[in-house]
Amino acid sequence: MTTNEKTAAEVKNPSNRFFEQTWDLQYKHALGSTVSRFLDGLAEGKIWGRRTTDGRVLVPARSYDDITHEKTGEWVEVANTGTIEMFTIVYEAFKGLPTPPYALAYVMLEGADTALVGYVQGIDLHDRASAIAALQIGTRVDVRFAEKPAGTAADYWFELGATPKQ
């Protein structure tokens, strides 16, 4: 008998045994000087980008460019306001990830040519239709910063914008 002819009972025989395991691995990743300076800027309420050789501003700051493959140069501080380029609202709980609901968006800050990802806070996500309407592409948002920065990318998030476009 080939495997494809096996009955459901054989395939799920309750006497078949299992081996259970959990992976608990630890890492301490060096983030390098470019990422470190970006994260330092969050403590000062600043979002930094880096200018590419063809004049684009990469946010968050990266030391090399995906298009030209050249190193980036000048540090450029971009605005703390921008517009939503895409978003999602998560309602499903995934093991090891935060408790839903939460909203994520990629935001194009003024002065940047690439979008920055972050949580969007301050919206009632349980009212789904209203939340979806509030987060549509083009919506103005402000960057908010943690009062007590932890030195990670969690030190910033977005909220619906009060600042008009400059």
Partner 1 sequence: MINVGIAGFGQSHFQTTRTDVTFPELVKEGADLALADADISIGKVDAVVYPLAPDALIGVSNGERWVIDALGATGKPFMRVNNGGATGMSAVLTAWTHIASGLFDVVLVAGADRVSESGSAQSVLNKMWDVGYERTVPLNTITMLALSAQRYMHLYNSDETDMALVTVKNRKHASLNPYAHLRTLITVEEVLATRTLAWPIKLGDACPASTGAAGVVLVSEKYAKKNGLKPAWIRGIGQNTETFWMGNRVGEKALGDHADADALGYAFDIAYAQAGITDPVNQVHVAEVYAPFSSVELHVIEAARLAEKGRSPRDLRAGKFALGSEGPVVNPSGGTLCTNPIAVTGTIRVGEAANQVLGRAGAHQVPNARVAIASAIGGDHQFYSTMVLCSDLEEI
Q: Give contact residues for partner 1 (rule: CB under 8 A).
A: 2-4, 6, 10-13, 16, 18, 21, 23, 29, 31-32, 35, 38-39, 56, 58-60, 62, 66-67, 85-92, 94-98, 102, 104, 106, 108, 113-119, 128, 132, 136-137, 152-154
What is the SS3 string spanning the chain?
Answer: CCHHHCCHHHHCCCCCCCCCCCCCCCCCCCCHHHHHHHHHHHHCCCEEEEECCCCCEECCCCCECCCCCCECCCEEEECCEEEEEEEEEECCCCCCCCCCCEEEEEEEECCCCCCEEEEEECCCCCCHHHHHHHCCCCCEEEEEECCCCCCCHHHEEEEECCCCCC
Provide, rounded to whole angstroms, the least separation between the CB of residue 160 and partner 1: 17
Provide, rounded to whole angstroms, the least separation between the CB of residue 164 and partner 1: 21
Between residues 10 and 70, which has the closer beta carbon with respect to partner 1? 10
Between residues 154 and 163, which has the closer beta carbon with respect to partner 1? 154
Between residues 59 and 141, which has the closer beta carbon with respect to partner 1? 59
Provide, rounded to whole angstroms, the least separation between the CB of residue 107 and partner 1: 9
Provide, rounded to whole angstroms, the least separation between the CB of residue 5 and partner 1: 10
